[in-house]
Chains A and B, each alone.
Chain A
């Protein structure tokens, strides 16, 4: 549903020791969809990660504030309303503009355009804007597995 088609070349997204750093999940700034975010939270929690779920329609300011406050191991932007490409670029641009967030791993996934599939150019633009990985719908399949693998690669906190 939300995430498919891995378009990433950076398999070393991970900081050395993440401790109990959460994964920050955010819907696109103009995207009201929720199920993708509920699903991602469950999926990420099953990988032993605490989730801070910012919910749908996350303003850029809120994303930056929360990222500074939470020091997340990973920022996940999810969008399915067709504005994900534009929203996503603005969100990551603001994120990267903060010095302390310059290196936080960030990925985006979903249905990012209104045409049903994202072009290679759009994926490249999203990466150039600051995403470490792009899981864009309509280019390939098996993205959930790829995303799942990425989560397993994150340093795990102790499961108690």
Chain B
């Protein structure tokens, strides 16, 4: 592994060497004053933090007219419209807050992110996230072919910004996909593949994501698998792992929400992950307040500080065996990794369960086993025969789907009600 000397990746690496998990919120407000207040509060939190500008969903889908209209009308958006605000407005938001001791990442969710990337580079930011698969298939209407082209251009824009004191950073969103019910091996495989995609386009500082799922032991195996594959495939990259606190239906009780976030922070610390993106107690209800975000950052940091490093072994690691088979099959398709992604999805070599996108084969299905692990009920045409156990099962009914989607909520709210923490 090489070491970035500057920027987002270097900050996270140095914190890790000091034994600190970097904690980060999801945070975006359309009002510049409030956005600045949110960044300041994140910076001042009693934890090692990095800041976030989460972009609004009009900008994400390229509907800049609606974003501008909302600004003119003074209507609140669900994020910071970085393309529509004046450059000097964003510079004023960041001034004196963002710096080497407090890097800020732009999070957006766009399959066509060039405008967003240009806007963030213009104001001196150099860290973002996403990926050609993970910001295409679960969301929106952009075809995978277009997304690969957009993300190729966006990655090249980022890479071209490298210079003295600037080491652009991209994070894969592939460890999340639909947020829940995707077996961890596919999450790990897509996260790794997107990281290799970024590297081939010139990005040298990369983070790979993994979103907490439904079983702690399986999650620990997944992170061990992710680290092993990155060690193998990203030898000349400064990479780190970012854990997302659960991205599915969140507990409704405060105790349940705190316990779930604590479990994510524990997972991060045990597995040697370097960064976590938190969720808050308000998650099940609405977009959280600044204060709720700060409380979540401090909780995650505290739990991590008292959870010792105890990674899962690779031996007998089923997630690793499956993820490796998927990654190797895709890498073998084509030297042009973007083309390999297109072929992989067109032929069902990669197939995200329950994903409605027309470019997804839609032949795979998953379920939550009695121990809470995510398993395949149908592997479709993925190269997992003889590697993954799959049970032929009928499809879920709507109420079974709801029960599966709320499995984590029920588990953690139930524990909270029983006084277990």
Query: A13-40: which residues lie under 8 A (CB-CB) from chain B?
Result: 29-32, 34-35, 37-39
Q: Say whether B90 faces chain A, with CB atoms less than 8 Å apart.
A: no
Partner of A81, one of B78, B357, B402: B78
Q: In the complex, which of the residues B76, B141, B397, B401 contacts A59, with contact meaning CB atoms closer than 8 Å?
A: B141
Complex CA gap A59/B63 in Å reads 10
Check A114–B286 contact: CB distance below 8 A. yes
Instruction: Please state if A38 and B401 are interface contacts (CB–CB under 8 Å).
Output: yes
The digit string for A34-55, where 1 denotes a CB below 8 A from any CB of B, is 1101110011001000000101
Does B405 lie within 8 Å of A82, measured CB to CB? no
| Cα–Cα distance between A59 and B58 once the two chains are bound (Å) | 12
> Do B139 and A116 touch across chains, with their CB atoms under 8 A apart?
no
Beyond A30-B66, A56-B140, whether A35 also contacts B405 by CB under 8 A is yes
With a cutoff of 8 Å between Cβ atoms, the chain B residues found around residue A34 in the complex are 138-139, 178, 354-356
Interface residues of A, Cβ cutoff 8 Å to B: 1, 29-32, 34-35, 37-39, 42-43, 46, 53, 55-59, 62, 81-83, 86, 111, 114-116
- Tell whether, in the assembled complex, residue A53 and residue B402 are in contact, meaning their CB atoms are under 8 Å apart: no
B397 and A42 contacting across the interface, CB-CB below 8 Å = yes
Q: Is B320 an interface residue (CB 8 A)?
A: no
Interface check B155, CB cutoff 8 A: no
Closest to A45 in B: B398
Task: Please give the distance in Å from A124's CB to the nearest CB on chain B.
Answer: 18
Bound Cα distance A62, B75 (Å): 26
Contact A57 B141 (CB under 8 A): yes
A sample of 30 inter-chain contacts (CB < 8 A) reads: A1-B249, A1-B402, A1-B405, A1-B406, A30-B57, A30-B61, A32-B109, A34-B139, A34-B355, A34-B356, A35-B178, A35-B179, A35-B180, A35-B405, A39-B398, A42-B397, A46-B397, A46-B398, A55-B356, A55-B358, A56-B139, A56-B141, A57-B140, A62-B141, A82-B286, A83-B57, A83-B77, A86-B66, A116-B285, A116-B286
Asked if B384 CB lies within 8 Å of chain A CBs, one says no
Q: Which of B9-60 contact A (CB under 8 A)?
A: 57-58, 60
| Given A82-B286, A111-B286, 20 extra CB contacts under 8 A | A1-B402, A30-B58, A30-B63, A30-B66, A31-B57, A32-B60, A32-B138, A35-B180, A35-B405, A38-B354, A38-B356, A42-B401, A46-B398, A55-B357, A55-B358, A56-B356, A57-B140, A58-B141, A114-B78, A116-B285
Bound-complex Cα distance A39 to B354 (A): 10
Bound CA–CA A35/B356 (angstroms): 9
In the complex, whether B314 has a CB less than 8 A from a CB of chain A is no
CB distance from A115 to the nearest CB of B (A): 6
Contact with A along B378-409 (1 / 0, CB 8 A): 00000000000000000011100110011000
Interface string of B277-305 (1 = CB under 8 A from A): 00000000111000000000000000000
CB 8 Å contact bits of B294-330 with A (1 = contact, 0 = none): 0000000000000000000000000000000000000
